[in-house]
């Protein structure tokens, strides 16, 4: 099968598009024929080696397609089922092995591109607003990279819950997208200091990391929650917990979807909500571009070059 992988960590030029053996499912696994794979920032962390894995590292942590074969003890899916999943690495390929419990059956009305676009960023936005900090009507939140894949979904879910949303974005075009998604206010943080307008927030959802972390703390009300959930600009440097006290007895968490979709019940709650809302038109996906799997390197360059908004997909 064709797959996209790295043997040496580094830039997008290190991505290989070449043949690898098609794997066979063992107990508890399903082999999925990938119809579309979602591109996520986590792919860049695995490519550069920021997140550890043993080479060859096949990229892609999200996909949709058809079950081709199942291993022993798999009862929740069978060959021919249309499925989607997130947080199992290896979707940037024609076939991927996935722990069967992580597969969600796609309703007939949801096509593969939608399924692949919805799962990882949709479930992430879901856990951030329902579980990490359960937003209530009237709460205020600051969302960085608000026109990104997670960002546009986070805005919409925060608004469904009645929160006030301030978003930050890199340029005017992205500002319009964030506004259209429902943000009450949008700050172009490449031009403007976001700490001036974003004050007294209940929660900051910060996926940018290194370049925004310290200033984000200044946007919180006393005892507010700093949710540092990504490293798009680089990992947050070491810092002294005493700072949290000085800035108002703040709380800090560094969550991962893996721990918030940790069992079949939680996974089916989050994925079910996301897919239902998409089906009902309550949640809109913004697909930036569909690339051929062979062009994965270009997708990586566009994503890390801040040229994209919403979702990028790879199609074998
Ligand atoms: P995005 O579509 O949001 O792309 C990243 C965005 O970050 C860019 O478009 C850019 O938006 C912004 N950004 C700011 N500074 C930089 C920089 N120096 N280099 C690159 N980008 C920068 O990606 P995703 O939606 O895939 O992921 C968003 C974040 O969420 C990532 O940090 C990812 O790791 C994290 N994440 C975390 C999860 C978790 O469970 N912890 C799960 C899923 C995602 P702008 O130009 O507007 O600044």
Q: Which atom of ligand 1 is closest in space to residue 151's alpha carbon? A: 3
Ligand 1 surroundings by CB, under 6 angstroms? 40-42, 120-121, 124, 145, 147-151, 169-170, 174, 207-208, 211, 229-233, 255-257, 303-304, 306, 308
Give the closest residue (by CA) to ligand 1 atom 10: 306
For residue 72, report the distance from its CA to the centre of ligand 1, in Å: 38
pLDDT of residue 308: 98
Mean pLDDT over each residue of the chain, to the nearest integer:
98
For residue 151, report the distance from its CA to the centre of ligand 1, in Å: 8
pLDDT of residue 95: 98
User: Quick one: average pLDDT of 3-19?
Assistant: 98
* Reported confidence tier of residue 13, pLDDT bands at 50, 70, 90: very high
The domains of the chain are located at 2-120+270-315, 136-254
Equal CATH topology for 2-120+270-315 and 136-254: no
CATH superfamily for 136-254 is: NAD(P)-binding Rossmann-like Domain (3.40.50.720)
What is the value of pTM for the model shown?
A: 0.98
Q: Which atom of ligand 1 is closest in space to residue 42's alpha carbon? A: 34
pLDDT of residue 83: 98
Give the closest residue (by CA) to ligand 1 atom 18: 233
Task: Read off the pLDDT of residues 94-146 as tens digits, 9 standing for 90 and up.
Answer: 999 999 999 999 999 999 999 999 999 999 999 999 999 999 999 999 999 99
User: Quick one: average pLDDT of 274-301?
Assistant: 97
For residue 143, report the distance from its CA to the centre of ligand 1, in Å: 11
Q: Which of 142, 148, 266, 288 is the pocket-test mutation for ligand 1 (most atoms within 8 Å of CB)?
A: 148
CATH class of the structural domain 2-120+270-315: alpha beta
For residue 207, report the distance from its CA to the centre of ligand 1, in Å: 6
For residue 256, report the distance from its CA to the centre of ligand 1, in Å: 14
For residue 302, report the distance from its CA to the centre of ligand 1, in Å: 12
Go through 108-141 and write b for each residue having 16 or more CB atoms within 10 A of its CB, e for each that does not. eebebbbbbbbbbbbbbbbbbbbebbebeeebbb
pLDDT of residue 20: 97
pLDDT of residue 48: 97
For residue 47, report the distance from its CA to the centre of ligand 1, in Å: 15
Q: Which atom of ligand 1 is closest in space to residue 312's alpha carbon? A: 2
Task: Read off the pLDDT of residues 22-54 as tens digits, 9 standing for 90 and up.
Answer: 999 999 999 999 999 999 999 999 999 999 999
Q: Which atom of ligand 1 is closest in space to residue 120's alpha carbon? A: 43
Q: Which atom of ligand 1 is closest in space to residue 174's alpha carbon? A: 47
* Reported confidence tier of residue 212, pLDDT bands at 50, 70, 90: very high
Q: Which atom of ligand 1 is closest in space to residue 209's alpha carbon? A: 32
């Amino acid at each position: 099968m064709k797959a996209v992988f790295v043997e040496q960590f580094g830039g997008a030029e290190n991505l290989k598009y070449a043949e690898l053996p098609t794997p066979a499912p063992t107990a508890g696994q399903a082999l999925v024929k990938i119809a579309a794979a979602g591109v996520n920032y986590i792919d860049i962390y695995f490519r550069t080696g920021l997140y550890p894995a043993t080479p060859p590292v096949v990229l892609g942590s999200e996909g949709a397609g058809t079950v081709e074969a199942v291993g022993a003890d798999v009862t929740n899916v069978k060959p021919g089922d249309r499925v989607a999943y997130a947080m199992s690495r290896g979707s940037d390929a024609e076939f991927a092995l996935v722990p069967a419990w992580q597969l969600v059956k796609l309703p007939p009305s949801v096509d593969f591109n939608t399924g692949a676009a919805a799962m990882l960023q949709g479930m992430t936005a879901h856990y951030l607003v329902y579980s990490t900090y359960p937003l209530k009507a009237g709460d205020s939140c600051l969302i960085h990279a608000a026109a990104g894949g997670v960002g546009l979904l986070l805005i919409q879910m925060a608004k469904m819950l009645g929160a006030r949303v301030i978003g930050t974005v890199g340029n005017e075009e992205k500002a319009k997208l964030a506004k259209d998604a429902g943000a009450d206010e949008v700050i172009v943080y490449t031009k403007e200091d976001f700490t001036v307008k974003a004050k007294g927030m209940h929660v900051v959802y910060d996926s940018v990391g290194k370049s925004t972390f310290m200033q984000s703390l200044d946007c919180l009300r006393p005892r507010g929650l700093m949710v540092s959930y990504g490293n798009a600009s680089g990992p947050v440097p070491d810092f002294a917990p005493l700072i949290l006290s000085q800035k108002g007895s703040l709380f800090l968490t560094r969550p991962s979807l893996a721990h918030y979709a940790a069992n079949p019940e939680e996974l089916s709650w989050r994925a079910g909500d996301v897919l239902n809302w998409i089906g009902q038109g309550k949640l809109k996906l913004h697909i930036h571009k569909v690339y051929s799997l062979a062009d994965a390197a270009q997708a990586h360059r566009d994503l890390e070059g801040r040229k994209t908004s919403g979702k990028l997909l790879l199609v074998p």
